[in-house]
Every structure is written in C-alpha cells, then in structure tokens.
Structure 1
Amino acid sequence: MMKETQPNEAETPQPTKRDRARHHLKHWGKWTHRLIYVGVLIPIVLVLGFAGAIHFMDFNQYKPQLEAEFKKQTGYDLSVEGNVDVSVWPFSLSAHNATVASPKGFERPLVEMEQVEVTLSLWSLFVQQRLQASGVELIGPRINLIETDAGQRNFKGLVTNRWLKRWQVASAQSSIAMPGGWLTAQAHAASESQRWDLDAFVVRNGVLRWDTPTRTWQWDRIAVMAYDLKPEQPSEVQLSARMDIQGVDFQTQFDARGQMTFTPSMQRLALSDWQADLRLTQKETDEIPPLQATFKLADAALEWGDLKKFHVKQAKLLSVLGRLEWTASTQWSEQARTSVSGEVSMERANLRQWARHIGLNWPIFESDQALTDVSVALSGQWQADQWSLQEIEATIDQARLKGWVRRDPNGQIRFDGQGEAINLDAYRVQVLPKASHLDAAASAKPSTKTPSEASGAITPGSKRPSRRWHLPLGLPIQGLRTWEASGQLVLNHLRYQGVQYDQFSAQIDSQSGQWHLNPLSLRWYDGTLEASVSLDVTGETPAYQTSGQISGLSLQPFMTDAWQQSRLSGDLFMQFDLASKGVNTQLLKQNAQGRLEGEIQSGVYHGLDLNRLLSGQAAQPGQTEFERLSFVAPVKQGRLQWQQLDARSERFSAKGEGHWDWARDRVDMQWSIRYDQPPAALKALQGVTVPVTVSGPAQDLIWQAPTMNQLLQSPGNQKKLLEAVRQLLN
C-alpha cells in the first residue's frame, strides 16, 4: 500500500507585488470604463432628452412673452409674424418676419427683418443654467430712420440716455418652461460682458434708409462680419455696402475692414486701423469711368454718455485726383455747448475732375486749368458763437494764400490775409445773356417761325447768342448787415478783368452794416492809388462811396489791359470823389454821382493824326501829341459833364465841352482847336479856331472836322485869313 504524500507548504506559489499591482489595475480599469461609459451616456441621454423635448415643443407660444419683454426694454412694439424655430446642433433660435413698429404718426416701421438667428451656448445652458448667445445673424434687415419737417424722429427713443440706462441696469428675468419638466432655464441679469461675448455677428443683405426733410440717404447690400465680440477687446470687422443719396448723381460702393472695441455698457465705441476701398459710379451714364479711392482711418471713438464725445485721428482719402487728411474732435451735451477742433489738409486735389465724377454741374471757366491743383492746410476750433481758423495756407493753381480768421466772444470777426499771384480772370465763368423784355414780348405773340427756329436751333445765317464772362461772386447782403469785422488784406500780383495790380492792400472795418476800406492802396502801372471806400448795406440797395487820388498811372498799358486798346498814353494824375448805389455794374454806372479832376501829362492820342484831319483828309491812322490835358468834370446820374477841358501842345491849344454817358457808354463832345504853330502845310490855319466833334462808344470814337469852305464861313476865321494874305502880299 502506497503511502499518501502531503503537499509541501514551501512549494505553494505566493503572489508577488507585481501580481498584486496587476490585480489592482485590472480592478480599477473596470471601474474606470464603467465611469467613462456613465460619463458619456449621461450627456448623450441628456442631449437626446433635450433634443426630444425641443422637437416636441412649440416655441411659437412664447411670442407674446418675447414681444412683451422687448416692449418693456425698448419702448417699441415688436411683432413676430413668422415661426420661431429651434435647432439642436448647433443650438440656435431663429425668428422669421420680425417687425419693430415706429411710433404713431410714421408710415413705415422702424425695423423689418426677414430672419433673426441667435446661436446659444449649450455649456451655459446645462452648467450655468442660463441662456448665453454665442452668435447672432440678421438676414435681410431693413432699418427706416425717419425725420419729419416738424423735427419728429421715429428713432429718438433708441438714442436717449433713458433707454441706454434702462438697457444697462435691466434686471428683468424671463423663463422658458419645457413641458414635462425637462428643463427650466432662467435668464439672469447677467453682466454686460456676458451679454456681449459673441463669437460672431453677421448681417446679410441689409438696408438702412434715412429720410430727412431735404433728402433721402440709403445704404443697401449691407454685409457685416464681426468676430470675437468681447468688451474692451479689439474685434475684427468687415463691412461692405452701397450708398445712394437722393439728388446726387453718383453711387458709392465701399468694402471696409478694421478693428472695433466697445465697453460693456456700449457707451464707448472705438475704431482702429480701418481701410476702405471706395468706388464712385455715375447712376445714369457710362461715359464717365468709375473713380477708385481709398479711405484710411488710424483711430476714431464715440462716447455716448451725458457728455458725448467723438474724435477722428488721421483720416485719409487717397485717389489719383488728390489727397485729403483730417483730424478732429467734438463734444456736446444737452447742457454744455458744442465744441469742435481739428486740422484739415488737402494736397494736389483736382476739383474739376472730382466734380465730373460725382456729377456736379461744373461751369465753363475761362481757364481750362482753373481748380485743377488745389492744396489747403488749416487748423481750427469752434464753440458756440466763437470760432477760429489758424495757420491757413492754400495753393490754388498758381495762387498762394495764407493767414488767419477768428470770431471773438463779442461777435467781431478779425482776420489777416496775404496772397500772391492771384489771377481772378481764370475763374470767370461763361454765361449766356438773358433774353430782353422785347424778346419775351415777341415770344407771347403767335409765332410764324419754323420748328427749328422756334426751338432755338442755330440756322444758317443766324447769329449765335453772344457769351460773356462773369466772376461767380456776389455780395452776401444779409451777412454784411450783421457781421462786424476788422482786419488787413494784402495781395501781390493780382489780376482782375485784365488789369494787373502789383499790390493791393486795405484795412477793412465794419460795424452795423457800414463797411470801410480805409486806407486802400494800389500799386499799378508805374503809379499809385490812395483812396478810401465805404459800403452801406443798411438800406434796400447797397450804396458805395469812394474818394482818393491817382498818381503817375501809365495810361497806355493800363488801357491795353483793361479795354484791349491803347488810344491814349501818358501819365494820369487825378483826384476823385464818387458815390453810387446798385446791385450790378450797370446800375452803379447809372446812379453815379461825384466829381473828377486831374490831368494827363506827356500824352499821345493814338489812331488819329489831327494835322491830316484839319487839312481836310478823312481821319487817318497816326498820332497826336500833347503836353498836358487837364479836366474838371462833375458826374450826375451816371453822366460825366466836362466843366473844364483844356489841352495844350507845342503846335496847338484846345478847349472842349460835352459829356460821357457811362450807362450807355457813349461820348458826345466838341473841341475848339486853335493852331498857334501849325505845320507848313497848314500855315493858313495859324490862329484859326477849328471845331472838331467827337462821338461814339468810348472804345471806338469818331472824329470829324469841317472842310476849308466850312471854316471860311466863320467871320472870325475870314478876318484872320485876310490878315494872313495881306501879310503875305506885303
């Protein structure tokens, strides 16, 4: 019988530390997998349950609650005519065909929206138990801003401090109760940073229309894309739109991009590093090519509080037609006065081409280069009734201007200006003369003209209407009656109506509608003018008065420039005292009153040889010299009457009488010429008085002298002629 063997305890395997570690890891691994499954399944179950609840819910039943809350917060009526839908992924709420009504008295609603979609945060909903928007998209919004003739605005309630404060401190709580008790989400009075923490804000195909009593502004095709909208942090923004202004012949398409920063309360909005590409296009014609321009903005900010502030830093408009840059700041409030300050500079701007591209009716200037190269730089400030423009420097084509102007607290305007190389004739515009009263009367009668003649067409043999050039400047009568000014103006190398002025200087003062230029000084054509000029605009018609003297004016170049003819040369010395009233040159000539007194020294009358005329020949080209021509002439009702008119030369002396009608521009006068030392061919006329008549327009005078037979009909001349014959026979 075999002996049963007993197991040896030393041979039984003992678990090692590694085995025990493996056992524990296996045990924890099972529980970890179980926890992971539970952690994954619970959110899935919650999401599925939430999705199921959302699927079976009708959110349209919450329209009245949403509309009432909007009315409470803004004071405007909201109407959601379409469906209110909710999607689970992404979790978003959308409303269709929403309308914000304008206050009573306005036809169009304030806002119309095709669709509003708000993306919500699931994390905030499940963890923080509140609704948090993470994105907003507006599709087809149309905003109608209306301002009536009476000053009423349908958007006034949106820009008042009352609404802003109500928005900032809103503590109303709204709840969305799910059927079956799945979820109750309460929107707490969150901080402003929570309200405006958006990942994206998008606007598609928007329209903004602003109706004012004078015109309508409209921005359409508006597209906005803004990302990471968080208070006090820069957000990237892209904006594009098309701008159309009623009464303006061009449209502007712009595409802009830059950064935007706002405060939690939205009381401060800042823009930085913006750039916009602009395209100006004519509305009704393709003949003018579009104009490309670039707008750049370094910095801008708007503060909307009790004291409102706005500033712009380094705003630039760049194009092939010039460069414009400005920096400005302003502040205003209901209690404080508005104040504005800033700097503006414009370089090499072609205003003529700018006007062409934006559809302005540009006049026909006498010079093709007028306003094609304009540069301006100035700084200024304005507050209530006080304002100033400092450091004004301008280059307009070839002209250079500089100076300053300000309005003091007492209402007086002070200024100092200097100019160089100013040609005002280059800026005269071409105008057609108005039809006369006779033409108007004739047009009222039955016409026998052909259709082309009646329409004003130019037919063979007919004359085209004459054109004239006119400087488009007028007297601002209402301003001259109220402005009080004091300052000095100095212009070097000035040209006006063909006349060259080496220097014009005047001290200008005004008070109660009385304007005085005293002293007024001119240096021109080797001579000077020292005068005083007064303008009275207190009456119905402006009244002028001037007195002074002219010394050493060289007549030939002066008359050549002023009237394009040089019949008279010599040096003019004259004293004058004139007064008139009127609103145009013709009335000023017609109403002129006063007195002229002076003389012309070392003169020559060109275009007429007096010796040939007295010898019986027709007026022949040539010249007649005289040593001195003195005159005294009162002026009454625009008619200059020569009271004294004496001429003296080496060969003859003469006395004249007659008048010059300034309004009609006609001269009628008669000279009595006595030959003291006639030339040999006219020896018989020595001591004889010869009458010579002068008549016609001042620029085209006709001289006439009697024949020898007519001279002999005078008893005095017959006696002198017989004495001359007796001396010859002896």
Structure 2
Amino acid sequence: MKWIIRMIGFVLVLLIVAVGSVFLLPADRIGAIAADQIRKATGRDVTITGVSMTLWPVLGVRADGLEVSNADWSEQGPMLTAENAAIGVDLMAYIRDREIRITNVEATRPTIRLESRTDGRASWVFTDASGAAQIEAETPAPTNSASTPQALSIQKIEVTDATLIYDAEGADLVSYSGVDLTLDWPERLGPATIAAILRPAGTEVQVDATIAGFAGFIAGQVQPLNAAVEAGGGRVTLDGRASTAGDVAGALGLDLPNTDAFMSALGLPALGLPPKLGQAVEMTTQLTLTADRRLSLRELQADLGGNALSGAADISLNGTPVVNAQFNAGALDLRGATGSAPSGEAAGGGAPAPAGSGWPKDPIDASGLAAFNGEIALTASSIDLGQFKLGQTRTLLRNDRSRMVFELREVAAYGGTLVGEFVVNNRSGLSVGGKMNMRGLALQPFLRDAADLEMLTGQANMDLNFLGVGQTVDAIMRSLSGGGSFNVAQGTIEGIDLDGLLKFGRGNGRTTVFDAMSASYRMDGGNLFNDDLLVVLRSFEARGNGRIGLGQQDIDYLFTPTALKGEDGPDLAIPVRIRGPWADPKILPDLDAAIDLRLDEKLEAEKEALKAKAEQQVREKVAEELGVTDEGQSLGDAARQKLEDEVKKGLRGLFD
C-alpha cells in the first residue's frame, strides 16, 4: 500500500513538473517558432507581435498582430493581416516528447489578399519557399548535445469574419467580407479538408473541399481534389486534380435550377439568359483549366432548361470569353433568344396575346450578346426561331462584339431547303436581318409563320432579304425593309373561287387551283408592296397589286381575275379587293376598279377604231394620188407603176 501511495505521488509530482515547465516556456518562443515555420513554408516574411500565454479555451499563445507578406511583385500589400490570432499547443505532446505541436491557429477579422497575373503568376504560389514547404521542421540544435530538436505541425486553422480580396489582372477587383474558413489537417503528409462560408451578397455560399497531399498542394504540386460549391440553390462539383498555380482537371458537374440566383449569391451580375438557354443548367463535362486561363471542355452533356446539348468547347477566359465550340442538339428552341418566346416564359406568367392583337411589345433584352465572342458550330434535328421553324440544321454561329450571325449552311425548312444567314445586332440598339434563298418550300405554313397568312398553298422558290430595327417585336415588324421574289409551279388560293366569282358573282368560301404564280416585292416601313403578281389558271389569269401591312397586321390588295375568251369575244375581268386585318379580312368585288377597267377597255376599243379609220382615209388618199383604178392592185404595185411611167416620160423628153 505504501508503494502504491508512493507511486501515485511520484506521478503527480511528474505531472506538476511537466505542467509547470509549460508555463515556464516563454510565449515569445512559441510565437517565434510559429513565425519561423510559416516563413519556411511560404518563403514570405512573417511578423507576430503582442504574444501572451493562454490557458483557456486552449493552451497556447495569443498574438495582438499577425502579418504575412505578399509576393515581391504584388502591389496589394501584405497577403495576410490579422488584428488578433490564437495559437494552440498540444500539451500531451510536449509533456511526452518535448514536441511543440501547434494544434490550431485561429484568426479573427483578418484580411486576405490574393493576386494573379495573365502571365501565370499567383500570389498564393509559394515558389520562393526555402525548400519542401513543410509545416513540420526542426529548430536549430543548441551547442548543448543533451538538447534534442523540436518539431512543429499545424493541425487546424480557423478564420472568422475575414475579408477576402481577389485581384485578377484584366478583370474587376473582387472583394468578399464575412468569410469563415476552417482547415483540418491532422497529418502533415495526409489530406486536408477545407470548409468555407462566404457572404458576398448577404446569403451564404458554402465551399467544401478535400485535398490529398496538402503539403505538396501548397507548394504548387498538382494533387487530387474533390470540391463542391453551393449557392443560391445551385451546386457545382469537381472531382479531379488541381494546383495552386491554377491548373485544374477533372469531372465538373453543374446543377443550377436558377442561374441568376446562383450568380447573385456569388455577388456577380445576373446573366439574364433567355428561356431554355441557361436560365437553369444541368451539366457534366471533363474540364481542363490551365494557369493562363484557357478552359477546355470535353464529353460535355448539358440541359439548358429545355434545350439539350452535347459536344466540346475551348474557351479563353482573359477578358471577354472567346469561345470555339462544336455542339450537337435535338429539337432546339431559340424563341427566347429571338424575343418571340411565349409571354408565359419571357415574363414569368400570363397568357399569350390573342390573335389579331398585334405583335408583342415587351422590351427585348439582348445584353447577353455581349457575354462572349467566337464561333459555335451547331447541328440540330430542328430549330424553333419563334417566327420561323427549321428542320434538320447545320449552322455556324459567329458572335463579335454583340453582333451574332447564324450562318445557315444546310437547313431543311417547310418541306424544302434553305441557305443564308440570320443576324441579331445589339451594338448600337437592337436590329435583326438576313438574306435567305429557299427552294421547294411549302408556301402555306411558311406564310403562316412569316405573316400569319394561310390563303396560298404550293411549293415555292423564294429569295428574301430583310432588316428590322427596334427593342420590341412590334417595333421590328413595323420597321421592316428589304425585298425579294417568289414563284410557285402549282397551288391553290384558299377562300376564293375565281370560277364561281366570274360566272356567278360568288367567290367566297371555296378554292381556286392555279397552274403557276410569280411575284416580286419590296418592304419599307413594315409594309410589303407588290405590283406584278401573276397567277395563271387553265382558262383564267389573275394579276394583283397592293400592300400587306407586316407591322400593322393588315392588308389592302387588289386581285383581278380575268376569264380568257380568246377570239370569240372580249375577256371578262372582275377585280376583287382584299382589305382589313389579317384576323378577319374582307374579300369583295371592287366596283370602282371594274368601272375603271371597263373604261380602259372602251377607250382602248375607241382608240383602235380611230386608228383603223385613219388608216383607211390615208389609203384612199394615196390611191387617188397614184391613180389606182384596179381594186385588186395594191398600193405598192401602184406606186411602182407610177414611178415607171414618170421615168419613161422623162427619158422621152431627152430624145425629143
């Protein structure tokens, strides 16, 4: 029993001595060791001031000031400054092994400044470190051989309410405040787990990452990395490899139900992307990012909120992104990009405008055209442009400073083929235009989409050039200019029965079959003008001229069918006036035009009669002068006979 009591007493004495020795350890010594190890790890000058001993909540020291210098080329000042910091020490490690093991470093309200340059330099890459950038190192051995080296390691770092400043050359300065950061690094040669909360716009952005071989990572080596960012209801993940120099490669995943909410949570401007073109994004791809900000995406699969794409892309991220990409798509809906998406999609609710109420007047936001430059090759099974519908399509999209050109290289449209280009320009106000050549197009569905007209059917060849300016669909349609032509081999005119109209005076509600149709036209101020329409039927022909209001959605057109009688009698023509809104045009015989036409025919007949009478009088006078007495003798023969007689008479005079 005595021996037991003695042993317990001996242990207590040893414990008291050991704990007492900790308190005898100078606080400045711990601070100096910590500063020396950070300097060896980073190659940067470290200053720790105002060091004092602490017992609670952790055993260690507290510093009134901590500063880590930046790279020598930096212009932003120290890389890290903190008004106060706490350094925790592992008591048992010191008692057992006389090892100063720093278990944690805490900093409150520090300022962290990070910089990167387009030449690849980054302030957080510690290429000027003294060696292996180890957090555990040895202090110089004293001359007393009985002393042993002391090792140091940091297992945890906690930063609270930090200000993070990021300055990337060529980009706007980014500053985040209210940042909380935790680094767990239990083993020096093992992985580290990082958890951070940022509040750039008031709401929390959660960042979690696990980095294998963290000691090599902070020294600039490429190490396995698994990271996730959650913000604004969206999530971005990366499973791959990375380095502090900015080199990243691996599987990237995006799940963004609301892209604008995600960007806003990061404190960045909302992209304002059109419906089905990125307002929501689900994407997976193999990503490669180099230190000079060149991004490569391979095996890309993306759902942009209704449009699915696959393909590959190369993007330069220095300044305005420059894109070179190739994508394949199924049915592609671009109504949002052309400003003709249903009102429920464009404005977040409401029913489409009723037929005949005019074109949409909601402002078109085309600012997204400034988001990138470059070329995107696209193959799609179909494309819906809102006003026009395309089938199998091979196109090249070129965007240069807010001027986007859709080069239509191979397009199936309305049963035929289409080549040309469609342009959206937002450099100095929004405008749309294009040049198109169409062959074998089904006329009725095309005119239904182009001008809401369904009267004509048939296979058409068409040439079209157009330009419209304005910030709304209504303004664009009211400003349309350009021109073109078309011809149709065979087809029908719905709603008019020319045969019934000419025979019985009733032509509504039926159909006219024609053998050919052709016309040219010009557009000005949102109106289409035509004056050479020709429709050929078996026993009729029809001509037309007038105006179609593309902007006002109305029509005022004179259509004149003529029944061809041949040599048996005069042709029969009844002009028809088509007038009114597209939704309810009136088709009526035009009596004024009929009267004018009859008057023109009467004047033409009178002119022919006067011409014949004048010719007869001339013939009679000439015959009298020539002395024609034989009714069968022509005036030409009489003139020759008269000339011969006069010549003979002159010759006789010479010899008499």
TM-score normalised to the size of structure 1? 0.57
**Do the aligned residues in 2 keep the contact of 1:652 with 1:676 (CA within 8 Å)?**
yes
Sort the Cα spacing of 1:311 and 1:606 in 2 relative to 1 into closer, same or farther, 3 A.
Answer: farther
Within 2, Cα distance between the matches of 1:148 and 1:395? 34
SS in structure 2 of the partner of residue 600 of structure 1: strand
Alignment map for 1:142-157 (pairs within 5 Å): 142-146=109-113
1:401 is displaced (CA, Å) by: 3.3
SS at 1:566 equivalent: coil
Is 1:675–1:686's contact at 8 Å kept on the other side of the alignment? no
CA deviations on 1:358-404 (whole Å, 9 max, x unpaired) are 8798989879x997784544455657486543333445567553333
- Residue of structure 1 in register with 2:204 after alignment: 251
**Structure 1 position 515, deviation (Å):** 9.1
**Partner amino acid, structure 2, of 1:79:** T
Quote the Cα distance in structure 1 between the aligned partners of 2:554 and 2:580.
Answer: 5
Match of 1:214 in 2: 174
Deviation at 1:497, TM superposition (A): 1.2
Question: Cα 1:172–1:231, aligned 2, differ >3 Å: closer, same or farther?
Answer: closer
Say which SS state the counterpart of residue 439 (structure 2) adopts: strand
Residues 364 and 552 (structure 1 numbering): CA distance in 2 closer, same or farther, change over 3 Å? same
Pairwise CA distance, 1:523: 1.8
1:422 corresponds to which residue? 332
User: How far off its partner does 1:174 sit?
Assistant: 11
Change (3 A) 1:718 1:351: same
Q: CA deviation at 1:431?
A: 8.7
Cα distance change, pair 709–339 in 1 and its aligned pair in 2 (3 A): closer
Secondary structure of the equivalent of 1:392?
Answer: strand
Q: How many residues align?
A: 563
Asked if the contact 2:67/2:81 (under 8 Å) is kept, the reply is yes
Q: Cα distance, 1:232 vs. partner?
A: 2.9
Residue by residue over 1:512-543, the C-alpha shift from the partner in whole angstroms, topping out at 9 and shown as x without a partner, is 999987772322332222x3438798997899
1:626-705 mapped onto 2 (5 Å cutoff): 626-634=514-522, 640-650=528-538, 652-660=540-548, 662=550, 667-676=555-564, 687-696=571-580, 701-705=585-589
Please tell me whether residue 558 in structure 1 is matched to residue 470 in structure 2.
Answer: no
2:390 paired residue number: 501
**Number of the residue aligned with 2:491:** 603
CA distance in structure 1 between the aligned counterparts of 2:179 and 2:582, rounded to whole angstroms: 61
| Separation in 2, partners of 1:421, 1:414 | 22
Q: State the alpha-carbon separation in 2 of the partners of residues 341 and 580 from structure 1.
A: 45
Gaps of 5+ in 2: 70-74, 167-172, 348-356, 606-656
Deviation digits for residues 238-276 of structure 1 (CA, Å, limit 9, x no counterpart): x766x23222x642568x7979655xxx4x1xxxxxxxx
Q: Distance in 2 between matches of 1:67 and 1:404?
A: 48
Query: Judging changes above 3 Å, is the alpha-carbon distance between structure 1 residues 71 and 720 closer, same or farther for their aligned structure 2 residues?
Result: closer
- Report the equivalent of 1:390: 298
Pick one of 19, 22, 45 that aligns with 1:75: 45
| Among 306, 309, 316, the residue aligned to 2:221 | 309
8 Å contact kept, 2:425–2:432:
no
Q: 1:100 aligns with which of 66, 75, 78?
A: 66
Question: Does the CA-based 8 Å contact 2:273-2:279 persist in structure 1?
Answer: no
Partner SS for 1:422? strand
- Structure 2: which amino acid aligns with 1:647? V
Q: Percent same amino acid at aligned positions?
A: 13
Deviation at residue 610 of structure 1 after TM alignment: 5.7
Residue 631 (structure 1) shift: 0.9
Distance in 1 of aligned mates of 2:589 and 2:575: 6
3-state SS, counterpart of residue 515 of structure 2 = strand
Aligned partner of 1:231 among 173, 176, 188 = 188
2:595 is equivalent to residue 711 of structure 1 = yes
Which position in structure 2 is the counterpart of 1:578? 465
> What amino acid is the match of 1:216?
Y
Question: Is this contact kept in 2: 1:119–1:133, CA < 8 A?
Answer: yes
Look up the match of 1:520: 409
Structure 1 residues 552 and 422, CA, compared in 2 at 3 Å: closer, same or farther?
same
Picking from 89, 98, 104, the partner of 1:118 is 89
User: What does 1:348-427 correspond to in 2, within 5 Å?
Assistant: 349=255, 351-352=257-258, 374=282, 376-378=284-286, 380=288, 382=290, 384=292, 388-394=296-302, 400-406=308-314, 415-425=325-335
Which residue identity lines up with residue 465 of structure 2 in the other structure? L
How far residue 78 of structure 1 moved from its aligned partner, in angstroms, is 2.9
Q: How does 1:50-89 map to 2 (within 5 A)?
A: 75-80=45-50, 83-84=52-53
Counterpart selection for 1:344 from 236, 243, 252: 252
Give the match for residue 100 of structure 2. Answer: 133
Taking a change above 3 Å as real, the CA distance of residues 699 and 379 of structure 1, as seen in their structure-2 partners, is farther
How far 1:84 sits from its partner (Å)? 2.7
Q: C-alpha separation between the residues in 1 aligned to 2:94 and 2:417?
A: 90
TM score, norm. by length of structure 2: 0.62
The amino acid that maps onto 1:692 is V
Which one-letter code corresponds to 1:351 in the other structure?
P
Distance in 2 (alpha carbons) for counterparts of 1:47 and 1:503: 84
Q: 2:251 aligns to what SS in structure 1?
A: strand
Which of 1 and 2 has higher RCO (CA within 8 Å, sep 6+)?
A: 2
Contact 1:173 1:188 in 2 (8 A): no
CA deviation after TM superposition for structure 1 residue 58, in Å: 11
**One-letter identity of the residue aligned with 2:48:** L
Q: Secondary structure at the match of 1:557?
A: helix
Change (3 A) 1:603 1:370: farther
Aligned residues of 1:633 and 1:641 also touching (Cα < 8 A): yes
Alpha-carbon distance between aligned partners in 1 of 2:28 and 2:437, rounded to the nearest angstrom: 94
Aligned-partner Cα distance in 1 for 2:322–2:117: 33
CA offset digits 1:562-598 (Å, max 9, x no partner): 5565232222222x263648576756974634x5232
Letter of the 2:541 counterpart:
S
Distance (whole Å) between structure 2 residues aligned to residue 545 and residue 468 of structure 1: 19
CA 705–339 in structure 1, closer or farther in 2 if over 3 Å, else same? same
Query: What is the DSSP-based 3-state SS (H/G/I as helix, E as strand, rest coil) of the residue aligned with 1:110?
Result: strand
Moved more, 650-659 or 610-619: 610-619
Displacement of 1:629 in angstroms is 2.0
Q: 1:603 to 1:536 in 2, by over 3 A?
A: closer
RMSD, aligned α-carbons: 6.3
**Matched residue of 1:132: which SS?**
coil
Deviations 1:577-632 (Å, cap 9, x if unpaired)? 63648576756974634x52322343333345567877998995444443332112
Name the CA shift for 1:639/1:160 in 2 (closer, same or farther; >3 Å): same
Q: CA deviation at 1:110?
A: 1.8
Equivalent residue letter for 2:199? I
Shift of 1:554: 1.7
Aligned 8 A contact 2:322 2:372 in 1: no
| 1:312-351 per-position Cα deviation (integer Å, ceiling 9, x unaligned) | 45667999x9997644444576xxxx654433356xx572
- Give the 3-state SS of the residue equivalent to 1:133 in structure 2: coil
C-alpha distance in structure 2 between counterparts of 1:379 and 1:352, whole Å: 22
Q: Indicate conservation of the 8 Å contact 2:87/2:102, yes or no.
A: no
Query: Which one-letter code corresponds to 1:245 in the other structure?
Result: R
Structure 1 residue 645: Cα displacement: 1.5
SS of the counterpart of 2:444? helix
The answer to whether the Cα contact below 8 Å between 2:402 and 2:427 also exists between their aligned partners in 1 is no
Change in Cα spacing, 1:658 to 1:190, as seen in structure 2 (3 Å) is: farther
Q: Please list every run of 5 or more consecutive structure 1 residues that lacks an aligned counterpart in the other structure.
A: 1-32, 176-183, 269-301, 435-463, 678-684, 722-730
Partner secondary structure for residue 595 of structure 2:
helix
